[in-house]
Structure 1
Amino acid sequence: MMGKKNIEELTHLINQLNNENELYISKIKDLIQHNKMDASHSLISYFTYTFNISYHLEKEHMIIGTYHITNQGTEPITNPHICIKFSQEHPFQFSGKILSRTAKMPMKVPDAWDRMNNPEDKEEYWLKPSEDIIIQPGEKLSFSNFQLKWKSHLTFTATVNGYAYSDEINEGVASLNQISMITSGKKEDELE
């Protein structure tokens, strides 16, 4: 038989557990709400690319690539911009439809991107579309057909990483993949 004191202790423990459960439920609801907000503004980014390798010393190797951003969320993505980041001391000549904001005569080039950072920086390229772009849910934006060139005799290890940003996602999202290379430069007589 339970005494009055035992019943009071059990009632107190039950009330304490109920309070803890309410606190946990409140935290779970907050997390669910936060995840719903994150899901409304969600994007992924990735590289597609192809290699063109030459077996002649006087020729260059080349990668032709595209960096894609896809809106996976339920809300539009505004002011998309990207950072293409190269490893230190990379040998690449990087080119694409990139306009310099320091150009004396502004140009209109279809599908061009504006460089946002210092053109002297060869490790990071911060780019945004030249025209105002909104990526609707399910749509994709691409920085198309950029080129990476390097001399065939060079030996190096290098990576190219991508990061996508927007007004809604200002902390950035890393690309799903990267471009990685390890080369050993060959002399022409070794290539035969």
Structure 2
Amino acid sequence: MNRKLPSSHDDDIQLKQKLIHYKAELNHYKQQVRQFERTLEQEKENTAFWRNKHSEALISSEKDAEIEELEKQLNLVKNELIEQRMVADGLKQKLARREPPQPVQEERFLKSDLIAFFMYSIIWPEQTDDPITVVGNVVIRNQTTKSLHAPILCLKVNQPSVTQLSGKMTDPGLDNTDTRSGVLQESSSEQWYYALPNWKEKIKQDGEYWLKPSSVSVIPPGGLLSFDSFQLSVTPSESISSILFQGYLYTDEWKEGTALLNKIILNFPV
């Protein structure tokens, strides 16, 4: 069974509690010292008084023995007081040498902290009848404080009959060579698979490209995932006045999805 290791913050609290305890012990011993000192002074005064008044009848040896015993107790208390001071000083020095506790990161888990957007360029052909090409990337950044699981990207074009999307995407049945861990790597050009078995019909009927990364199943806090170097080819048509290309991102945590921050719009003269 795994046990949670104490944090630096917990160690600081324990040290401070010990310091408070030893300060209380110091005050206790100081009071004892003052009490023994008062008792000792009183006994000395009583002894001197009775010696002066009844010098012949007083058995001074008993008083001397009592005073000696009080002095021994006083010395013991003083020694304990010195030891407690040394322990307290050691705790103070240890606490002063410790690094200040790091501020606790505020938890963030809002959909607005999941950032996804297009970065793209449009290549217009010299001939009006030639295809228009949109080249770009989809950038996904997890700015929450929790990991996001099973990311799926949906790219939708409103005119599938005159458009074609290409890039680093393939049928999952054609590639089974990837053996990475499933956690997002810092520098990787990710291959993407079609996420639906009927992906061809989905593209043809609805203009929707449902994609999932081939090897990444988890986007950690602060992690970056991208669908790189896609190309959207658009064949101009007199019957079409505009092309709208937009995207949505889904995870296990947000199954309802979140829209990409921007859209790609191409307008044609009528």
Which interval holds the TM-score relative to the shorter structure?
0.5 to 0.7
The residue that corresponds to 1:56 in the other structure is 127
1:145 to partner: Cα distance: 0.8
Which TM-score applies when normalising by structure 2?
A: 0.49
Task: Tell me which of 131, 139, 156 is aligned to 2:241.
Answer: 156
Which TM-score applies when normalising by structure 1?
A: 0.67
The residue that corresponds to 1:65 in the other structure is 136
CA distance in 2, matches of 1:59, 1:180: 18
CA distance in 2, matches of 1:69, 1:175: 9
Which stretches in structure 1 are left out of the alignment for 5+ residues?
1-35, 186-192
- Kindly tell me: are residues 39 and 151 of structure 1, through their superposed partners in 2, closer, same or farther at Cα, counting changes over 3 Å? closer
- Are 2:202 and 1:121 equivalent residues in the alignment? yes
CA distance in 1, matches of 2:226, 2:258: 15
- Kindly tell me: are residues 60 and 39 of structure 1, through their superposed partners in 2, closer, same or farther at Cα, counting changes over 3 Å? closer
The residue that corresponds to 2:229 in the other structure is 145
Q: Conserved in 2, the CA contact under 8 Å of 1:56 and 1:152?
A: no
Q: Conserved in 1, the CA contact under 8 Å of 2:108 and 2:145?
A: no
1:107 to partner: Cα distance: 5.6
The residue that corresponds to 1:44 in the other structure is 115
- Kindly tell me: are residues 53 and 168 of structure 1, through their superposed partners in 2, closer, same or farther at Cα, counting changes over 3 Å? same
Q: How many residues end up aligned between the 2 structures?
A: 149
CA distance in 1, matches of 2:119, 2:112: 23
1:42 to partner: Cα distance: 3.9
SS at match of 1:131: coil
Higher strand share: 1
CA distance in 2, matches of 1:89, 1:63: 15
CA distance in 2, matches of 1:79, 1:41: 18
Which stretches in structure 2 are left out of the alignment for 5+ residues?
1-106, 179-187
The residue that corresponds to 1:131 in the other structure is 215
1:39 to partner: Cα distance: 3.3
1:153 to partner: Cα distance: 5.8
1:77 to partner: Cα distance: 1.2
The residue that corresponds to 1:184 in the other structure is 269
1:169 to partner: Cα distance: 1.4
Which structure's relative contact order is higher, taking Cα pairs within 8 Å and 6+ residues apart? 1
Task: Tell me which of 78, 90, 97 is aligned to 2:149.
Answer: 78
1:69 to partner: Cα distance: 1.1
CA distance in 1, matches of 2:226, 2:166: 15
Q: Conserved in 2, the CA contact under 8 Å of 1:98 and 1:112?
A: yes
Q: Conserved in 1, the CA contact under 8 Å of 2:109 and 2:146?
A: no
1:139 to partner: Cα distance: 2.0
Deviates more, 1:132-141 or 1:45-54: 132-141
1:106 to partner: Cα distance: 4.0
- Kindly tell me: are residues 95 and 171 of structure 1, through their superposed partners in 2, closer, same or farther at Cα, counting changes over 3 Å? same
- Kindly tell me: are residues 41 and 135 of structure 1, through their superposed partners in 2, closer, same or farther at Cα, counting changes over 3 Å? farther
1:93-104 counterparts in 2 under 5 A? 93-103=164-174
